[in-house]
Structure 1
């Protein structure tokens, strides 16, 4: 490596996961062509890589905020392209970072030639933190609740948010810890398969989430009278049910979910309140990649025989933020969003806003992680396509992350007297 050539990460090499970083190169020959590469490893040991070729300016500099990639994992001016375009060498692998305490480490390197064996000219390491300075992390085992609570520094009052990240076994802390780092008390909970919980379940009980809401509201730092609920995919319909049946839910973020209760029957106070809307396996379309397209496989919730699965969102007193990716191939999120909007308007309700993202796929997550085109689906039992075009999906994640924070701040007003009453 040449000591004259520098690969810099600005404003610093250590930042939050959801913050952009500027890559700049100095000391190259005028108009020299170089290849920049990024490499990282997720919690499962899967390696993700990307590369892009750039031509230096007349002064021997490259700035990813200014200069276009000529070829590689993406083309054009994409300041964070090396991050969102990273892919696993193996097919159908989704980037997984479920723990919050260790930073996400990305190795950047610059090479003399476009070929894999090109001599390395410079390198830099980017530590992308999943939990901010002063944010506390506490494992929760309280009554039936199994989860992790994140609390910002400073004592509050803060809005309280319940994060239902995925419908699956273990916990994922990434979204909760990042949101807490932005000024929210966030409880993320597991539904099954975590710690001493059952490994599999045949039904879901809304009472569990009611207990989680009560626990969250009791925290001394929570100043909002009601709590927020954040969801995605299957947990979207659970969030709708919480908002429709449980007191204390003031703001609900629904991301690429369904308008009906899916997969497992839903119970409350020991009585079934919704049967499960199921998939028609015969409508899952295989593709040459080995991943299936399941967009139209879920039964129609508006069909007469399935109407009992529909969630009565008109009962909700809180606010909704509905988010749908128009290229979601897991199921037809946009159609389900339209169903809910029509239902609320029919009941003369205006307690909602909606966002639709053209070109985005199913898994909308905090920004700057690798885009996932396909991975294993636990319910379907095989890899499925998630949809989306990488560049559009990455832009949607940046916009949505800011939108979620604005939505919760607007509708989870905090009152310092709430805290005093708990102490």
Structure 2
């Protein structure tokens, strides 16, 4: 392992380098609708018949009139139970291109003349969808979010010339490999689910920790398993027993028990595990790594290197730490006395003033001793985070590691203009800036770019840190 700090990255491409581990391509199939063309073949769209949802795919059109103007549309059905005429069912995107002399078009190789996204992007038609009935300049209602099916969803691509449909193809986006295995946790004190990669060979393992929403990120865990990582999606507060009801003095030892249990599984390879935490779970991941020598890789998405006051019922301040060790609350920063307004509302007013007003001694007391970890670290933050100041909180981790000449690799990527709502890539990101209760920040494009870059970099990081 190369030692020392990796460079901090500030800007990112939507098109990460593909690795063999991630190259699970579907079978390519062609679909054609009848249409008129001056070429010797009818227009057609070539796409894989299916691919994993995080897979960047090639969309190619041929058989078109040379120098024609073609509009390519993508549509998919959202399964959001709160959908109505203004938020979906049907979500759509579009882009108009000028065809070359040879009558072909590769969508990702040129920017659209106009459409629902701007730059050359193989997946622009996928993430830029919006509810079909929503105007392009209309702010979506808080309940608008694209929800795929339980296992997959279909995207239909249509090519139009002069308002007439000339070709059509459909590609299925699989949320996980159907060959992964789901196992129950045979430990009475743990709540969560274990997902194993296809096959029977041992695999590197990851403990995934959710955020303040209180529900394990099962879709993320399934996709990680599809990419070759045995993944335990652990729930650490909420229903059911025996975990705490709220994010208040959650024992760090509970997560340590999960690490021990995961190491004992016969499908887990290697002596070191990875931990992947989102938001409040990112803080727990850093706390856990600072105490546990069995972790070799730490990923935090929009995390905090400072321990904060916990949350009680209704996410009200808990008057105590979010975490405990040995039955005692971990030292923490108190949330500010704030009134963010009626929902949907940001929670940033609880955190940013408190961080700015805290003394150096107060921050030092609440800071997580990340330098005590024995693991590589990869942190992802966003600059328009409306939940808490994840960029500042992540940079504090880097500063602490710098000051202590940390001997393992570490890196912090901060995504300009993106918001707190992060998930695996290429799902439509319209509606991810807020929901009925929370404001997350960001924009459709910035959130899409952050999702894609963070996800693929996370996979590469774990593959490097945990690979044999």
Q: Give me the TM-score of the superposition, normalised by structure 1.
A: 0.82
The runs of 5 or more residues in structure 1 that have no matched partner are: 415-423
Q: How many angstroms apart in 1 are the aligned matches of 2:309 and 2:427?
A: 28
SS in 1 for 2:183: strand
Task: Say whether the 8 Å CA contact 1:237–1:262 is kept in structure 2.
Answer: no
Deviation at 1:306, TM superposition (A): 5.5
SS in 2 for 1:142: coil
Deviation at 1:157, TM superposition (A): 3.0
Correspondence 1:350 to 2:407: yes
Structure 2 equivalent of residue 91 of structure 1: 141
Query: Match for 2:425 among 357, 364, 367?
Result: 367
Structure 2 equivalent of residue 220 of structure 1: 266
Deviations 1:290-349 (Å, cap 9, x if unpaired)? 865555640217534565432222222222212223343433222112211222233332
SS in 2 for 1:28: coil
Q: How many angstroms apart in 2 are the aligned matches of 1:79 and 1:148?
A: 34
Deviations 1:276-298 (Å, cap 9, x if unpaired)? 6425434x489xxx865555640
Moved more, 336-345 or 55-64: 55-64
Correspondence 1:131 to 2:179: no
Structure 2 equivalent of residue 419 of structure 1: none
The 1:138/1:279 distance shift into structure 2, 3 A limit, reads farther
Q: How many angstroms apart in 2 are the aligned matches of 1:60 and 1:279?
A: 61
Q: How many angstroms apart in 1 are the aligned matches of 2:233 and 2:148?
A: 11
Runs of 4+ in structure 1 off by over 6 angstroms are 196-199
Task: Say whether the 8 Å CA contact 1:165–1:175 is kept in structure 2.
Answer: no
Correspondence 1:75 to 2:81: no
Task: Say whether the 8 Å CA contact 2:290–2:369 is kept in structure 1.
Answer: yes
RMSD between aligned residues: 3.1
Query: Match for 1:31 among 63, 67, 80?
Result: 67
Query: Match for 1:14 among 47, 50, 56?
Result: 50
Q: How many angstroms apart in 1 are the aligned matches of 2:334 and 2:406?
A: 25
Deviations 1:100-134 (Å, cap 9, x if unpaired)? x6113223233345xxxx55433322211122253
SS in 1 for 2:74: strand
Structure 1 equivalent of residue 397 of structure 2: 340
Q: How many angstroms apart in 1 are the aligned matches of 2:238 and 2:210?
A: 14
SS in 1 for 2:284: helix
SS in 2 for 1:65: helix
Q: Give me the TM-score of the superposition, normalised by structure 2.
A: 0.75
Structure 2 equivalent of residue 110 of structure 1: 159
The runs of 5 or more residues in structure 2 that have no matched partner are: 1-32, 37-41, 135-139, 311-320
The 1:169/1:358 distance shift into structure 2, 3 A limit, reads closer
The 1:97/1:229 distance shift into structure 2, 3 A limit, reads farther
Task: Say whether the 8 Å CA contact 1:291–1:374 is kept in structure 2.
Answer: no
Query: Match for 2:374 among 317, 325, 346?
Result: 317
Q: How many angstroms apart in 2 are the aligned matches of 1:191 and 1:309?
A: 21
Deviations 1:13-64 (Å, cap 9, x if unpaired)? 2011111111222333343333222223444244333221223334443320
Structure 1 equivalent of residue 455 of structure 2: 401
